[in-house]
Structure 1
């Protein structure tokens, strides 16, 4: 299909014939979303610069998840040897939700698409629960990208279910050694490289010189990623997602991944809005609503340093 649903959303074929949606905003920003995984694989600003990282070796062939962009981790965030590490939502084909129930107010003049995932018989064998997962992808008039998730327990047997969740966002950065993350200092975190032992962040900002895989706990609603070389700051705003995962595989792990270039770790950073430490439990009929909003803004210099506080204060 290549029919235009409206002036702003196009359905077309992507890599390996997989269907994707292209959202375009009047000032030139754009977003691409594959129905496979409801996976955002591109987010470009008004100048056409790509803001997300997707590996050059990403495998766009089911059932392999796509390496990069924004994979959705549901109903689990885990690398603990499960047959469906990070859950199955990221490697299922979603449908366009033609008649969604009312969402919270959408960004004025924003372009959006609604996607829906329901479990198959095969999914029940992995995770024996009935659910409806609705995702709205919105491209705002200023080029901001918002993902709003609504997960409902539709079990008929009266049973609750419990899950963990993450928007596994891969940001494109110029050089990982020139990047710092602000907003997570002094917080406790679980270190995935040390069997999830709990520590407290000591630095005044997070910088990178080796592999990092941490789950920060009770995090603020805003986190900033400062890219010194590009003079660009990403701001992650999140509602209902208390945790934030920070991940970069560094050189050894990068070389061990078949769908990841050996040196690509230098040009990506995952900062993920998540709910991991305290799993979410829904009773039948209950719905969980969360969202993540991403912005990319020019960074300002202050005494030779980027000033994240000015960036963060400007948002609220």
Structure 2
């Protein structure tokens, strides 16, 4: 005898089976967005403004990413939450705006995407592209093609694959830093722990990027945190004890990992962030920050992040190393 709740979940799954895997439609303020769906009922939402994932839901319709209730969906303002793309720089330096300009630009559906391998099971995906503009070249004088594939796997995993190519015609190389600025939704930040980064060196952005070594057996949160962990493993676990859920982040081509929570004072200082919302989010980001990536003309860099949500019986030491990464 099925419970009422189980029957309702099955009804929702049956309803979603009739919907397309990929749907282009309008979002907040008429901004174009793409909705990805899988037959089990999981979904993701991608805004072309910023090439940004703003929603990732499991088969029960539970939201796994954090987007602020005060987020501004009005270009060129970046959307506060989801997974902003930080390119061509992470952080703030020089003439470029904070975290670069990719998260503020309008991306296009890629007319000539890289092919999938034969027999790939993924059907819910979208290929986006961003290219240099004359306006951008005034502040970052380089030609590039940035291809981004966002995939929702059959099991609900969310995968982002970036390919950045130097298309300069003047023979010049360029350097960049990068991050998938992932805002995870958590029940209570004080009940969250991050495993996989213990004993590693990190740069503390709150102490002028001074270098330290992580001392704890896991990272827990009692105050503002803004750290760049260096030479990190390909898998990191984020345990949400209250929700009995673990996020497993797997990455390739991105040696660093950023961990950030603004806590109360900084939260109140951000106009597009609720005063108490820091309690319900944590940024853990696959990144390349310490050593910039350098591309010669014609060269291409590839970086990938995959996130899955699993029951909290998992921890970083139990993850199957054979399943760390599988390529698009």
| TM range, smaller chain | over 0.9
The number of equivalent residue pairs is 306
| Structure 1 residues 313 and 163: CA distance shift in structure 2, 3 A | closer
Give the unaligned 5+ runs of structure 2. Answer: 1-18
Do 2:247 and 2:309's aligned partners in 1 also have CA atoms closer than 8 Å? Answer: yes
Of the three residues 285, 289, 309, the one matched with 2:317 is 309
Of the three residues 130, 148, 159, the one matched with 1:135 is 148
Q: Which secondary structure state, in structure 1, belongs to the residue aligned with residue 239 of structure 2?
A: strand
How far does residue 111 in structure 1 lie from its aligned partner after superposition? 1.3
Of the three residues 74, 82, 86, the one matched with 1:61 is 74
What are the residue-to-residue correspondences of 1:109-258 with 2, within 5 Å? 109-258=122-271
Do 1:226 and 1:308's aligned partners in 2 also have CA atoms closer than 8 Å? Answer: no
How far does residue 80 in structure 1 lie from its aligned partner after superposition? 3.7
Whole-angstrom distance in 2 between the partners of 1:314 and 1:232: 22
Whole-angstrom distance in 2 between the partners of 1:105 and 1:131: 28
Match of 2:16 in 1: none
Whole-angstrom distance in 1 between the partners of 2:169 and 2:319: 47
The alignment yields a C-alpha RMSD, in angstroms, of: 1.6
Match of 1:22 in 2: 35
Q: Which secondary structure state, in structure 1, belongs to the residue aligned with residue 147 of structure 2?
A: strand
How far does residue 309 in structure 1 lie from its aligned partner after superposition? 2.4
Give the unaligned 5+ runs of structure 1. Answer: 1-5, 301-305
Whole-angstrom distance in 1 between the partners of 2:272 and 2:320: 34
Normalising by structure 2, what TM-score?
A: 0.90
| Structure 1 residues 262 and 31: CA distance shift in structure 2, 3 A | same
| Structure 1 residues 17 and 28: CA distance shift in structure 2, 3 A | same
What are the residue-to-residue correspondences of 1:68-87 with 2, within 5 Å? 68-80=81-93, 82-87=95-100
Match of 1:263 in 2: 276
Do 2:236 and 2:316's aligned partners in 1 also have CA atoms closer than 8 Å? Answer: no
Do 2:159 and 2:306's aligned partners in 1 also have CA atoms closer than 8 Å? Answer: yes
Of the three residues 307, 312, 317, the one matched with 1:299 is 312
1:206-232 deviation line (CA, Å, top 9, x unaligned) = 000000000000000000000000000
Q: Which secondary structure state, in structure 1, belongs to the residue aligned with residue 138 of structure 2?
A: helix
How far does residue 102 in structure 1 lie from its aligned partner after superposition? 3.0
Q: Which secondary structure state, in structure 2, belongs to the residue aligned with residue 207 of structure 1?
A: coil
| Structure 1 residues 236 and 285: CA distance shift in structure 2, 3 A | same
How far does residue 126 in structure 1 lie from its aligned partner after superposition? 1.0
Match of 2:107 in 1: 94
